[in-house]
């Protein structure tokens, strides 16, 4: 499910986005990918194909549908867990940038342990740094956020430290984001190759 409550209509109204990231605007495009309410197999091969096409994920990034008995916490060897909302809400792209991999390593987390809001914040601040011509280090990220265990098992959220909130109006309560997941193969297509040794699959 996405971060917004859905009505029974099949289409949502398009919303505008702003390039000014210092205001109360989101840093990701507002265009939503509508999914039928009755669609329960959100990680079926057909659905993943649709996600790939809509979010322009390169064909060489390997997606894998979980089979019966596989879980979020224990992805197959050589894969990491990815949530549908990482694409639909956070607009995560591949390969995962080195800055994100390094900061996750600093916090000793895998990307699948993040909920939607902190990943939106990470990517938002990273995009902002690109626009300002800045290069952020793990120390910079650590100076902005602190780690907190979430109410959902295996999950963590990142809370801005006092007076350090940069990105406003992020998704703070993305209901059901953890219910639909799939696996992504860990290689140079999904993670920047020079930081593969730092990337935590779980």
Per-residue pLDDT of the chain (202 residues; tens, 9 = 90+): 444 444 444 444 444 444 443 333 334 444 444 444 333 345 789 999 999 999 999 999 999 999 888 888 899 999 999 999 999 988 999 999 999 999 899 888 899 988 888 888 888 888 888 998 988 888 887 777 667 665 556 666 666 666 555 555 555 555 667 778 999 999 999 999 999 999 998 8
Prior bond of 42 cis (ω within 30°): no
The whole-angstrom distance between residue 143's C-alpha and the CA centroid of its chain comes to: 21
Asked if residue 88 lies in contact with residue 2, where contact means CB atoms within 8 angstroms, the answer is: yes
Distances (CA, A) of 42 to 11, 39, 72, 181: 18, 7, 14, 8
The rounded distance, in Å, linking the Cα atoms of 42 and 48 is 8
The whole-angstrom distance between residue 184's C-alpha and the CA centroid of its chain comes to: 13
The rounded distance, in Å, linking the Cα atoms of 132 and 166 is 14
Contacts of residue 136, Cβ cutoff 8 Å, sequence gap at least 6: 99, 125, 126, 129
Backbone angles phi, psi at 81, to 5 degrees: -80, 130
Q: Is the pTM of this model over 0.85?
A: no
Contacts of residue 156, Cβ cutoff 8 Å, sequence gap at least 6: 107, 109, 113, 114, 115, 118, 147, 148, 149, 150
| Chain position carrying tokens 């996600």 | 51
174-187: b (≥16 Cβ within 10 Å) or e: beebbebbbbbbbe
Identify the pLDDT of residue 175.
Answer: 62
Identify the pLDDT of residue 141.
Answer: 78
């Amino acid at each position: 499910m996405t971060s917004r409550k859905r009505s029974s209509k099949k289409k949502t109204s398009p919303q505008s986005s702003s390039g000014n990231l210092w205001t109360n605007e989101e840093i990701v495009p507002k265009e939503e990918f509508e999914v039928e309410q009755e669609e329960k197999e959100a990680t079926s091969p057909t659905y993943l194909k649709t996600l790939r096409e809509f979010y322009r994920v390169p064909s060489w990034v390997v997606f894998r549908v979980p089979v019966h008995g596989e879980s979020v916490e224990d992805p197959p060897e050589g894969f990491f867990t990815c949530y549908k909302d990482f694409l639909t809400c956070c607009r995560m792209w591949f390969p995962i940038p080195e800055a994100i991999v390094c900061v996750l390593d600093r916090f000793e987390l895998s990307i699948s342990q993040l909920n939607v809001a902190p990943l939106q914040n990470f990517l938002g601040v990273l995009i902002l740094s690109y626009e300002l011509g800045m290069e952020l280090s793990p120390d910079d990220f650590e100076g902005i956020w602190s780690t907190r265990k979430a109410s959902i098992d295996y999950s963590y959220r990142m809370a801005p430290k006092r007076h350090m909130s940069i990105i406003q109006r992020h998704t703070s309560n993305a209901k059901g984001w953890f219910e639909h997941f799939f696996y992504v193969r860990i290689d140079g297509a999904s993670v920047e190759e020079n930081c593969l040794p730092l990337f935590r699959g779980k």
